[in-house]
Amino acid sequence: MRFTKMHGVGNDYVYVNCFKEKIENPEKLAQLVSDRHFGIGSDGLILICPSQRADVRMRIFNADGSEAEMCGNGIRCVAKYTYEHKLAKAGGFFSVPGQQPYPASFKIETGKGILTVGLMTDNNDKVDKVCVNMGQPVLTPKDIPVKLAGEKVVEEPIEILGQKFLMTCVSMGNPHAVFFCDDVKAIELGEIGPAVEKHSLFPNRTNVHFVQVDKPTDLKIRTWERGSGVTLSCGTGACAACVAAVLTGRGQRVCLAHIPGGDLDLNWCGEDNSVYMTGPAVEVFEGVFDRPKKSSS
């Protein structure tokens, strides 16, 4: 199986061109390729597939083999791959309210629905920046889903491993639990993350983010991703953090997210209520994967 390793601000996946490759068991394959000792090493597997409804279809599988609805960093890489490998013909201008338009665009089918992306290319016609219309955030508990009453979950008290936190919940096509803190480095993410992810309040589990607000336009974020663990970045999570910061009065709609893997520009636009995320997409290498044989020693 031929593959391409790509990352968006450190959130790395193995990408497979399903216009050419046939994948029969993506759940198992995701576990194999994600293994950082016996596989390729990644946060998961992303399949780039033909679509009857858009230019291409993206399917995301976490490192544990579970299928996710959406991946913000992954969709930027899918856009880059689609453009540079000519899987589809790019459309016209992609506009973000109040910003310069992007000269090329694609429509990508995801588990959240069809999303539009804008591409900026360099002098060699390589994609170096992608802006994604991530759509409107979902705040109704039953649609996130989270088993809590009310119209929104904003600073809801919750006890995790004997500690009390205030939780804000947002869906960006996948569920997110956001917690604000004074110092993200002080959080024991490897312990608290899985406890929140698998909490009984979340029927589909959840992504977990701790956010430090240095000023209303700057967020520091650490992430525990559902099905993958601690990752260097989560695009949908950064969008959820932006929304949560606004809902709690801590942040502004246009902000910069500082994540261990890099930075993302975010804009929860007041005109259409959509969240726009802009960031890089990087191809690392290509290769051929055969199922590895683990040593018995």
Give the tokens for residue 89. Answer: 């013909």
Which residue in 131, 169, 234, 255 is the catalytic one? 234
d(CA 3, CA 61): 15
Active site residue 234: yes
Q: Which of 208, 211, 203 is nearest to 190 (CA)?
A: 208
Told to judge if 49 belongs to the known catalytic residues of this protein, a careful annotator would answer no
Tokens of 197: 């992810």
Looking at residue 130, its amino acid is V
The answer to whether residues 68 and 226 touch, using CB atoms and an 8 Å cutoff, is yes
Count each helix (H run) and each strand (E run) in the chain, helices first.
Answer: 4, 18
What does the block give as tokens for 55?
């230019």
Strand-pair partners of 212: 220
For tokens 């899918």, the residue is: 78
Out of 49, 71, 131, 242, which one is annotated catalytic? 71
Which active-site residues does the annotation give? Answer: 71, 234
